[in-house]
Amino acid sequence: MKKILALVLALALVLSLCSFASAEGAKKKVGISMPTQSLERWNRDGTYLKEQFEAAGYDAILTYSDNKNDQQVNDIDNMLSDGVDLLIVSAIDGEGLNTCMDSAAEKGVPVLSYDRLIINDASKYYVSFDNYTVGKLQGQYVETALDLANAGDKTFNIEFTAGDPADNNAGYFFNGAFDVLKPYIDAGTLKVVSGQTEFQAVATAQWSTDTALARAQNILASYYADGTQLDAWLCSNDSTAAGVAQAIESDYAGTNAVVVTGQDGDIANLANIVDGKQTMTVYKNVANEAVVTLAVAKAILEGEVNGEELVKTFDVPCAFDTTSYFTSEGNFANSFLLVPSVITADNLQELVDIGLYQWDADQKYLLAK
């Protein structure tokens, strides 16, 4: 009888500990602040993140701020008032969140910059892809597609479209691509007919498709209407590539296929790749980005982040980096950087194989899964 009683008591203790643990887990609340629903990828990021955190027993608040910095400030302030234990933020303006970062620091709420770095020391952790490599892959794609290394006396014409200057990533993408292509520009093999090679001149506020479209139409009308051949248009991502591809379709006088780069694997752009209007996209598996974010968040909430060790536990390649992304002069974020890859018309099946896309009924275009 005593033994049974002891067993029952032990069982009751285990059960109460379990429910205590889960109640504790359930009490932790994360605030997830995404920039906008108007650009396709953030819908996927928001969904994956929320799902991941909820499945792991956290409460998750998810907001989208319509690409407006003021709204994001407001959304984050509300989350802080709501008592979140951790903030996960993809900043609309990397330098526009200082007041929220001060409040977070005052409240002792850790901040993880998601995909886009917040330039503030309160954000000590950063999960993203290797952004410089994203640009490098785009530049290398153009280099190979035009066979620039063996061009001899041949010359090619190129234009550039970069991202939003408020987004810390945009400069990394542009520099990665430009560094690969600059030697060919210097040698005269590549010519930027518009003369627009500075980041600020080729940048696209809010990564807007319409803005990229209007600028591309303008360039085509001003520099290519006389039949000058355009060989490549380096675009930093898919939303800008969509505008450029549209301009080439409607306003370019030539008939050659223009190499157009992108980034993200947005559904409309994958269709453009099938149709030959865009040539490649740099793919970043945002489901993996969410998984890594959860692991880093857990470590932060448990009070110990050993980045070197943590990356070894991931199923996907991820570098731990403490020297590339600064939050203020001399201070660097603890960065977890995943590895991007190149998708073209030849390897679209890879996106199906990773389980995030599916073929349509005609097996021609990809759809989201």
Residue ranges in 227-246 that form contacts with ligand BGC under rule CB under 6 A = 237, 239
Tokens 């980096």, residue located:
321
Total of chain residues touching ligand BGC, rule CB under 6 A:
13
Stretch touching ligand BGC by CB under 6 A, among 20-28, 60-68, 161-169, 294-302: 161-169
Tokens 């490098």, residue located:
136
Counting contacts by CB under 6 A, is residue 283 touching ligand BGC? no
CA distances from 92 to 64, 118, 185, 359 (A): 10, 9, 32, 33
Counting contacts by CB under 6 A, is residue 41 touching ligand BGC? yes
- The 8-class DSSP code of residue 230 comes to P
CA pair distance 126, 337, nearest whole angstrom: 8
Return the number of the residue (146 or 356) whose C-beta is nearest ligand BGC: 356
Return the number of the residue (167 or 321) whose C-beta is nearest ligand BGC: 167
Per CB under 6 A, the list member of 75, 130, 143, 167 interacting with ligand BGC is 167
What is the nearest approach in angstroms of ligand BGC to the Cβ of residue 265?
A: 9
Residue ranges in 260-279 that form contacts with ligand BGC under rule CB under 6 A = 263-264
Do the Cβ atoms of 104 and 31 come closer than 8 Å? no
| Residue 38: burial class (beta carbons within 10 Å; 0-12, 13-18, 19+) | middle
Residue ranges in 91-150 that form contacts with ligand BGC under rule CB under 6 A = 115-116
- The sign one gets for the Cα dihedral 341, 345, 346, 347 is positive
Non-local (6+) Cβ contacts of 229 within 8 A are 157, 254, 256
What is the nearest approach in angstroms of ligand BGC to the Cβ of residue 315?
A: 21
CA pair distance 315, 19, nearest whole angstrom: 30
Residue ranges in 203-222 that form contacts with ligand BGC under rule CB under 6 A = 207
What is the nearest approach in angstroms of ligand BGC to the Cβ of residue 116?
A: 5
Question: Can you give the binding site for ligand BGC, defined by CB under 6 A?
Answer: 39, 41, 115-116, 163, 167, 169, 207, 237, 239, 263-264, 284
